């Protein structure tokens, strides 16, 4: 069965992303067309990129990198939950992405973003990164502005539009993950 990792891309204290990621995970877990796992970057503490060789070589020297590579390599696709900080994504998420290369290749990715402008600028940046990593980013995304999706900017209150957006995004991530399976298999056989 298709495996989708839901990556929580913030490690800040009192992060809003935790509520979003749990809602997303609980909603996704009701589906029968894929399995889902919540991947919290707090559980994978990575120092600023400290591998001596480029990730594209796949020769990881550090145990924390090998653990991260194994986790990411186990998925067929991803949903990334990202905040927007200063018109971009979080440093911890970008660092976690930059650690690896082949483990991201030929996999679909969707985005759920939150912030003052719904996190759309963070997703714009992540789409560029996804392209470089040979990921297929799907069009549908979940946009969660603080003004409408959070009560007092703290308590997450998803509405019907957010639920419909989530369903559409998950449909696309699963479909693209399945469509890319032959490419992942071919790359695995060549390795």
CA distances (Å), 146 to each of 87, 141, 154, in order? 15, 16, 8
Q: 150 - beta bridge partners?
A: 156
* This prediction's pTM: 0.97
Q: For the CA atoms of 27, 109, 70, 188, what is the dihedral angle to 10 degrees? A: 130
Q: Rounded to an integer, what distance in angstroms lies between the CA atom of residue 122 and that of residue 141?
A: 12
Point out which residues pair with 139 in neighbouring strands. none
Rounded CA gap, 77 and 134, in Å? 12
Model confidence pLDDT, tens digit, residues 67-102: 999 999 999 999 999 999 999 999 999 999 999 999
Burial of 21 (0-12, 13-18, 19+ CB in 10 A): buried
Q: What is the pLDDT at residue 22?
A: 98
In this prediction, residue 44 carries a pLDDT of 97
Q: Which ranges of the chain have pLDDT less than 70? A: none
| Contact predicate 100/74, CB 8 Å | no
Q: Quick one: DSSP state of residue 56?
A: G
pLDDT score recorded for residue 189? 85
List the domains of the chain with CATH numbers. Answer: 3-190 (3.40.50.360)
Check residue 24 and give its pLDDT.
98
H-run or E-run covering 25: helix 17-28
CB 73, CB 119: distance < 8 Å: no
| pLDDT given at position 191 | 72
Q: What is the pLDDT of residue 85?
A: 95
């Amino acid at each position: 069965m298709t495996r989708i990792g839901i990556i929580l891309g913030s490690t800040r204290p009192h992060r809003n992303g935790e509520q979003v990621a749990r809602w997303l995970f609980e909603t996704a877990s009701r589906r029968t067309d894929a399995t889902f796992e919540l991947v919290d970057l707090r559980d994978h503490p990575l120092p600023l990129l400290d591998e001596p060789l480029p990730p594209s070589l796949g020769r990881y020297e550090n145990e924390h990198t090998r653990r991260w590579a194994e986790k990411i390599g186990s998925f067929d696709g991803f949903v990334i939950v990202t905040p927007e900080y200063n018109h971009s994504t979080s440093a911890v998420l970008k660092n976690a992405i930059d650690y690896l290369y082949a483990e991201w290749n030929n996999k679909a990715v969707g985005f759920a973003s939150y912030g003052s402008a719904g996190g759309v600028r963070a997703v714009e940046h992540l789409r560029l990164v996804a392209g470089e990593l040979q990921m297929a980013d799907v069009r549908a995304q979940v946009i969660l502005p603080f003004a409408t999706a959070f009560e007092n900017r703290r308590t997450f209150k998803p509405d019907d539009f957010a639920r419909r957006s989530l369903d559409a995004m998950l449909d696309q991530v699963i479909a693209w993950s399945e469509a890319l399976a032959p490419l992942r298999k071919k790359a695995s056989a060549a390795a």
